[in-house]
Amino acid sequence: MAMKFNLVIEIDSDGRYVVECTDLPGCLSEGDTLKEAIENINEAIVGCLKSRLKVAGEQIKIPSFKRRISMSIDATAYG
Q: Whole-prediction pTM value?
A: 0.67
39 lies in a domain?
Answer: yes
Low-confidence stretches of the chain (pLDDT beneath 50): 78
CA torsion sign for 38, 40, 41, 42 is positive
Q: Which domain holds residue 40?
A: 7-61
Number of domains in the chain: 1
Q: What is the CATH number of the domain that holds 49?
A: 3.30.160.250
**Rounded-to-integer distance, Cα 54 and Cα 63, Å:** 20
Residue 21 within a domain: yes
Containing H/E element for 35?
A: helix 34-54
For residue 76, being part of any structural domain is answered with no
The answer as to whether 78 is a domain residue is no
Is residue 31 within 8 A of residue 39, CB to CB? The reply is: yes
CA distances from 49 to 13, 25, 45, 65, 72 (A): 29, 11, 6, 19, 24
Supply the pLDDT for residue 31: 97
Residue 21: per-residue pLDDT: 92
